[in-house]
Structure 1
């Protein structure tokens, strides 16, 4: 059987699209304290230097927060898809501006305030503002308090915005008036980069949309131990970093072999 890493390394133009939290960065009780592990950062850097290779982060985080935790500067070559594929940052262009209905934005703000008020007395519960809605974090709450918070906000959304999308993640439930998923993010970035193959990696339930959307020339990687549509599973972030480092090395070797005598063009 063909080794999946060797197969994807040999494609003409590769897009490596990566979830952030739980895939490149350990999960944190303080979401804004998340940072790439040193090994993951080194692996991403090696991929950026590989020929005909583009790296993207595809996250449920808002674009503002994703850029902060990824330490993403204006001159970065890394593409970003935030808010589950509803926001984008493109090298050389910057953030793609979106025009949302003021009615949706006003309802977002109102529901965020209602959720904050409804959960204010629940220890360990935190409402995270997001571009198109908000998230209910319960990682620091006990099980009973987390269940109470989620039930309270579920009832609030059902009463005031039943058309919003609900997503579950690691100790978080997200609510949004936009319905894009990470499959949208991967498809958009594939078109933008003219990728012939995509590697997508993630660890959470919200990553399954993207994993299920991949084609026969792509590769899905899951970090962790739960059921997944990914064809490759690694146990943790160090193993994910090792896989990406190996891909970068094999990618460089494969592309040099495909075009003898041609120097690689770094950074995608």
Structure 2
């Protein structure tokens, strides 16, 4: 009998406690999600590359969004008073082909100048931040959640105020004006799922 078998055979020996999995969402992020879930008109906007879809081409060469993120966006878009959008540097046509998101999720491409509603350039939108403001006005949002990864999202975070929430996805070593952070795209997907669950029960 080996030493391990002998220890296992001793009655009353306590089992090794299971290690708790660290929560990818901080307490501050969860509190902000709870507040967002209770706004009357919520706009959820997400950058495609880095927030919805991983940017690691070696691990995810097809650049598809995480299934759990797609599922959460679909659930959010089906809730009353909730509008979801993906804002990207990619053209709308590429976004539609890659993301395979339901029609309820708005697509804004070409750095925020191309909207899927009529696939045309909005003259008032000259970037992602301006496109977000156009969407905010169209849906009369009382609060906005914007998640993005990379330095290109910083101007969008600067446009957020009041009840809005900006979440930077990715390396915590990179400086950001976003009020909140999550480590990676799986954590971003979990944030969306938690938001959907809380808003559904509100």
| TM-score grouping bracket, smaller chain normalisation | 0.7 to 0.9
SS at match of 2:187: helix
User: How many residues get paired?
Assistant: 170
Do the aligned residues in 1 keep the contact of 2:113 with 2:121 (CA within 8 Å)? no
Do the aligned residues in 2 keep the contact of 1:20 with 1:59 (CA within 8 Å)? yes
Do the aligned residues in 1 keep the contact of 2:70 with 2:101 (CA within 8 Å)? no
RMSD: 2.3
Deviation at 1:72, TM superposition (A): 4.5
SS at match of 1:33: coil
The residue that corresponds to 1:19 in the other structure is 47
C-alpha distance in 2, partners of 1:215/1:242? Answer: 23
C-alpha distance in 1, partners of 2:35/2:144? Answer: 11
Deviation at 1:37, TM superposition (A): 0.8
Residue deviations 1:38-57 (CA, integer Å, cap 9, x gap): 11111112212222110000
2:80 paired with 1:80: no
Residue deviations 1:225-253 (CA, integer Å, cap 9, x gap): 22111111000111111111000111122
Residue 80 and residue 223 in structure 1: after superposition, are their counterparts in 2 closer, same or farther (change >3 A)? same
Greater CA radius of gyration, 1 or 2? Answer: 2
Show structure 1 runs of 4+ deviating over 6 A: none
Deviation at 1:65, TM superposition (A): 1.4
Residue deviations 1:116-167 (CA, integer Å, cap 9, x gap): xxxxxxxxxxxxxxxxxxxxxxxxxxxxxxxxxxxxxxxxxxxxxxxxxxxx
Deviation at 1:5, TM superposition (A): 0.9
The residue that corresponds to 2:78 in the other structure is 49
TM-score, normalized by length of structure 2? Answer: 0.77
Deviation at 1:81, TM superposition (A): 1.3
2:154 paired with 1:194: no
Stretches of structure 2 lacking an aligned partner (at least 5 in a row): 1-27
TM-score, normalized by length of structure 1? Answer: 0.59
C-alpha distance in 1, partners of 2:56/2:175? Answer: 23
